[in-house]
Structures are given as structure tokens and as C-alpha cells.
Amino acid sequence: MAKVPDNLSVAQRIARTALSPSHRQIADYVLEQPLKVAAMPIDELAAKVGVSVATANRFARALGFEGYAQFRAALVLGFESALAPVERLRSKLEQSADAMDVVAATLAEMIRNIERTRDGLDAAECARAVKAILGAKRVFIVGFGSSSWLGGLLARNLDLYCENVQLLASMEGSSHAARAIHRLRPGDLAIAIAFPRYLSDTVLLARRAREAGAELLALTDGASSPLAALADIRLYASTDSQYYANSEASVLALIEALSSAVGHASEHSVRAAAQVAEAVLPWLHGGHSGRVRPVGDGPAPKRHAPAASSPQKEKE
């Protein structure tokens, strides 16, 4: 067999190699599902395609690899960030642990993330973020996937202190956000939220916001994030997780901390808190509702029959 150049991709190797029918069967599945195969051990791939483990290993060698491990490593190239959570989970599940072990370890990891987030914050960037939020004519929050929920919490908090806060995650998805971003002008602030695995829509809309002249605040995981190079202001959160792509707990903590700093700096925070308390009071449990909610018409009061006339009055 002719030596295959080392710099070829898996797809290029398949195209250049004469394959047996069983090897072609594996190759077709690899080309159709490269990401899925990159996460599969050899026995899982063999079972999925319907061949033996030995055949799957010979397929890898036919492509010029020493074995299946090298084939899979080559296939992973370009999918590293997408597959990292899968590999972490696979490794974790190989370890024996009961429910309490997992709960305790996860909570400990959240604490470490929050501590790393706090220790990594830059005081000047925090001050700039607060000033940008309070000084913006309008605040547009961009985030999709799990970041849409994070953006919703941020929008809810900032709505107390800002005149115009818009969350661009909706049932329409990124098309609604694209139309809203088109309305951005200098003096507006866009807040983009994205963590690995970064969604391209968030990055694209953040770039459009900058092109429109709006200031951009990024909530992301670090300087290597695609949002970092675009942003005017950057706040980073540590989001390590053994079971998911990210742990959102530290991002939630950062959002609440940022909102608290905005509230502390706002001239209207006490008035806003009082207005919220007044607005929600009728719906709070504890006996308030009956005293302050509008009460509809109740049943008409019963009419009492007139007292019977005395015999003396009848005579009169």
C-alpha cells in the first residue's frame, strides 16, 4: 500500500484510498457523521456500522494510521471545543460515584468557578461596564442557547435602572435579533453573552453592533473568546464543568454582581425598589392581597323583612 501523506484530512484520505466493501461502509458513515464518530470508541463504531472491531481497526490502518486511536485523534481536529464536554463526561462516568459524591463535587466546582471569576475581574473594566450601562440610551442584550436565559436575568435586573432594556432572544431566534441590531445607533449599548461552545449568531450580531457604532460589553470566558476581540468592555467568568459544556452558576453570580453594582451607582435605585415593592404587593402571599387588591362586586346584602306591625298600629 502506498504511503499516505501525513498532512491529509480524514476525508482526503478516504477519497484517495481504495477501500473494501466493509471499509467503504465505515467510510460512508464517517463522512456522514464525522462529529459523532469522533466521539465514539472503536467498539461503538463497529456496532453502529455492523462490522467487527478488527474490521474497524483495519479501516483505520488502510487510511494510513497506526490504529483506531490515531484515526480518531485526526478526526477530532477541528472539533476539539465541541467534543471537549463529551470527553470530560466520558471520563467522569468511568469513575465510581454515588449521588451525594456528584452533588458535593459539582457544588465545590461551582464555588471554585465563582472564586476564580471574582479573582480575575478587573476593577477598571467593572467600573466601565457600570458606567456604560447607566449612560446608554438603550441596552440590547444578545445571547442564544443557554445564554438566552442568562440574558433574561440580566434584562430583568437592569430594567429597574435603565429606561430601555431589550432582550433579543425570542421565539423567532436570531432573525428577530438581526432586525433589532439594525436599529442600533451610537449611544446605545449591546451586551453579548457567549461561552464555549460559542454560537456563531451571537458573534455575528456582536460584530454588527460594533459596525453600527454601539458600544459592546462582552460577558464571556476569557481573552480567547471570539467576543473578546470585538468588545469595548470585557467581563470574564470561569465556567468549568465536568458534566456540561459550561457551568452557568458563575455567570449567574457575575450577572447578579454586575446588576448590584449598577443599582448601587444608580440615582434611582431606592425609588425603583419602592416602585417594585408597591407593584408586587397585591400578589404577595401573607394576607396583603385582600387589603390592597381591587375587589369586585360581592353578593348583594340580604334584605331583612320589615318587622310585623303591632296589633295596635293595625287598628290605627
Residue 271 to residue 281: CA distance in whole angstroms: 15
Q: Which candidate, 189, 206, 210, 203, places its Cα nearest to that of 262?
A: 189
In 3D space, the residue among 104, 223, 199 whose CA is nearest the CA of residue 143 turns out to be 199
**Does residue 167 surpass a pLDDT of 90?**
yes
Q: Indicate the pLDDT class of residue 34, thresholds 50, 70 and 90.
A: confident
In this prediction, residues 166-179 reach a mean pLDDT of 78
For the segment 31-54, the average pLDDT, to the nearest whole number, is 90
pTM > 0.75: yes or no: no
Predicted confidence band at 175 (pLDDT cuts at 50, 70, 90)?
A: confident
Indicate if the pLDDT at residue 146 is higher than 70. Answer: yes
pLDDT interval class at 309 (50, 70, 90): very low
Cα–Cα distance between 191 and 89 in angstroms, integer? Answer: 31
pLDDT-based confidence at residue 267 (cuts at 50, 70, 90): confident
The answer, yes or no, to whether residue 88 has pLDDT greater than 50, is yes
Confidence of residue 278 (pLDDT cuts 50, 70, 90): confident
Best-predicted range by mean pLDDT among 36-40, 171-175, 178-182, 187-191? 187-191
Q: What is the pLDDT of residue 313?
A: 41
- Cβ atoms of residues 152 and 167 within 8 Å: yes
Residue whose C-alpha is closest to residue 55's, from 43, 40, 66, 64? 43
- In the numeric block, the cell 455567570 is attached to 251
Q: For the chain, what percent of residues have pLDDT higher than 70? A: 83
| Residue 316: band (very low, low, confident or very high) from pLDDT cuts 50, 70, 90 | very low
The pLDDT value given to residue 171: 59
pLDDT at residue 79 greater than cutoff 70 = no
- Average pLDDT of the segment spanning 58-72: 91
Grid cell for residue 313: 298600629
Domain limits, the chain: 10-84, 110-271
Q: Tens of pLDDT along 195-241? A: 987 888 999 999 999 999 999 999 999 999 999 999 999 999 999 88
**Quick one: pLDDT at residue 280?**
80
Q: Which CATH class is domain 10-84?
A: mainly alpha
* Closest CA relative to residue 246, chosen from 201, 197, 191: 197
pLDDT per residue as tens digits for the range 90-133: 677 777 788 898 899 889 999 999 999 999 999 999 999 999 99
Class assignment of domain 110-271? alpha beta
- The CA distance from 54 to 38, in Å, is 18
d(CA 79, CA 189): 33
Contacts of 299 by beta carbon, 8 Å cutoff, 6+ apart: none
pLDDT classification of 272: cutoffs 50, 70, 90: confident
